[in-house]
């Protein structure tokens, strides 16, 4: 089964919770708070494995969660950090954030790694909150939640040469005649339903050729199979445009040539600049010579090789010409531009107030915002001192004042994330 597009869920591991602990032992004269920090949660890391060819494994497993860090311990011992979750993907995999459309990573080389979901940092233990004014705090933090997101994986085959053209022009026959690939060949349109790869061996030179399912007019808008597989053309270094010069199906070879190139251009403007060779196929049929003469008159300046994939006439000459041209082209596949993302900064609400929004859900005031919601999740709600600290931080962020401006009164219910509490002026 050839699978080249899937949607999956990834989540970095949560950080371990900080501990509340005190130490008062013989030979330990200072004693005091001794709760250690929680360990870091594991990252979800994608690694390229050249042994994989499709995304079929992701059809059966769609959720990937990294392990959480260990909780802090007494005697100032920190919890252990969690191992990263390594997910193997085939070369040519593009990782896209499903909500924003942002390209997170474009993975093309064996062993290449990318962190897709970061693990959360460990929560601080009470040893971190000791101050001269409060030398014995009962305060600790829960671990920071790991990053979670839905991502879309798109596989773009990495091939040196891509065969494009209308259905039934002979692309699969050409691939079968020069490689060990065994694509399905039949006398009806859309025989090829998935891309096929084969290696062309010319002795000291070899290259990978891909037979891409037939394109038709409107392919860039999703007509036929084109939209589903046009992405694979993006990785190829050279395009071999196969044309049925005998016009067996009654189409005009000149119009076919222009239409396929229009579809490539409309899908991706960069494909217009991709080097291209025209393979005039089915030249063993009587109508082909006249059509070729007319084609060369109406499309001057295009390199055309006369071949018959069925009889192998001219095929070797075409393959050597392809190999010669490939030697002049960069040997690196096209890679998508990935936006540079600044390193994550650990949020400290006391120093860096963040914006938030207040809305109404019937009689409940709902406070929303990434930082304030994360602060709630990292607060140990079973500890009175931790809750009091959270209340002080809310006031310093201006949440209390904003609620009063929205009309909140003593006794009203306020919800932040999954936490509901009674508002007190």
Per the annotation, binding residues are 165-172, 190-194, 211-214, 281-284, 308-310
Whole-number Cα distances in Å, 45 to 82, 164, 387: 13, 35, 35
Q: Compute φ and ψ for 266, nearest 5 degrees.
A: -65, -30
Rounded distance between C-alpha atoms, residue 57 and residue 363, angstroms: 47
Whole-number Cα distances in Å, 15 to 23, 42, 85, 122, 372: 24, 8, 14, 4, 17
Binding site as annotated, residues for Mg(2+): 172, 192
Q: Residue 163 forms beta bridges with which residues?
A: 211, 240
Q: Residue 151 forms beta bridges with which residues?
A: 8, 97
Rounded distance between C-alpha atoms, residue 343 and residue 161, angstroms: 38
Binding site as annotated, residues for GTP: 165-172, 190-194, 211-214, 281-284, 308-310
Contact 155, 93 (CB under 8 A): yes
302-313 per-residue burial string, b: 16 or more CB within 10 A, e: under 16: eebbbbbbbeee
CA 13 to mean position of chain CA atoms: 19
Comparing CA positions, the residue from 65, 97, 68 lying closest to residue 80 is 68
Rounded distance between C-alpha atoms, residue 283 and residue 173, angstroms: 14
Comparing CA positions, the residue from 145, 103, 99 lying closest to residue 121 is 145
Comparing CA positions, the residue from 326, 328, 48 lying closest to residue 208 is 326
Residue 30 DSSP one-character state:
E
Rounded distance between C-alpha atoms, residue 382 and residue 373, angstroms: 17
Q: What string of DSSP letters covers 280-330? A: EE-TTSTTHHHHHHHHHHHSTT--EEE-BTTTTBTHHHHHHHHHHHHTTS-
Rounded distance between C-alpha atoms, residue 266 and residue 262, angstroms: 6
Burial class, 113, CB count within 10 angstroms (exposed 0-12 / middle 13-18 / buried 19+): middle
Contact 397, 357 (CB under 8 A): no
């Amino acid at each position: 089964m050839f699978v080249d597009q899937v949607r999956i869920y990834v989540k970095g591991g949560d950080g371990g919770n900080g501990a509340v602990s005190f130490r008062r032992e013989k030979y330990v004269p200072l004693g005091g708070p001794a709760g250690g920090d929680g360990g870091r949660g594991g990252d979800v890391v994608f690694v390229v494995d050249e042994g994989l060819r499709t995304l079929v494994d992701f059809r059966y497993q769609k959720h990937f969660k990294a392990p959480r860090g260990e909780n802090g311990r007494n005697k100032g011992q920190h919890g252990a950090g969690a191992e990263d979750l390594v997910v193997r993907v085939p070369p040519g995999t593009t990782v896209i954030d499903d909500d924003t459309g942002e390209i997170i990573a474009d993975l093309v080389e064996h062993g290449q790694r990318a962190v897709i979901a970061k693990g959360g940092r460990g929560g601080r233990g009470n040893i971190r909150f000791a101050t001269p004014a409060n030398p014995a705090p009962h305060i600790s933090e829960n671990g920071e939640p790991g990053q979670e997101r839905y991502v879309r994986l798109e596989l773009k085959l990495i091939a040196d040469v891509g065969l494009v053209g209308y259905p039934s022009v002979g692309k699969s026959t050409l691939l079968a005649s020069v490689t060990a690939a065994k694509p399905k060949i039949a006398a009806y349109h859309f025989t090829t339903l998935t891309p096929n790869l084969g290696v062309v061996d010319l002795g000291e030179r070899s290259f990978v050729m891909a037979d891409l399912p037939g394109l038709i007019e409107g392919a860039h808008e999703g007509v036929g199979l084109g939209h589903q597989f046009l992405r694979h053309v993006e990785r190829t270094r050279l395009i071999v445009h196969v044309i049925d010069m005998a016009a067996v199906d009654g189409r005009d070879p000149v119009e076919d040539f222009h239409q396929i190139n229009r579809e490539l251009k409309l899908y991706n403007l960069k494909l217009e600049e991709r080097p291209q060779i025209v393979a005039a196929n089915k030249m063993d049929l009587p109508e082909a010579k006249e059509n070729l003469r007319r084609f060369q008159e109406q499309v001057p300046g295009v390199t055309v090789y006369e071949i018959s994939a069925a009889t192998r006439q001219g095929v070797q000459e075409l393959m050597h010409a392809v190999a010669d041209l490939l030697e002049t082209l960069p040997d690196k596949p096209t890679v998508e531009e990935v936006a540079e993302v600044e390193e994550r900064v650990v949020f400290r609400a006391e120093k860096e107030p963040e914006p938030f929004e207040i809305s109404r859900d019937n009689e409940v005031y709902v406070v929303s915002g990434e930082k304030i919601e994360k602060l709630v999740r990292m607060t140990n709600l079973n500890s009175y001192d931790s809750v009091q600290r959270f209340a002080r931080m809310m006031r310093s962020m201006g949440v209390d004042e904003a609620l009063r401006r929205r009309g909140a009164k003593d006794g009203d219910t306020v919800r932040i994330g999954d936490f509901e509490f009674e508002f007190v002026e």
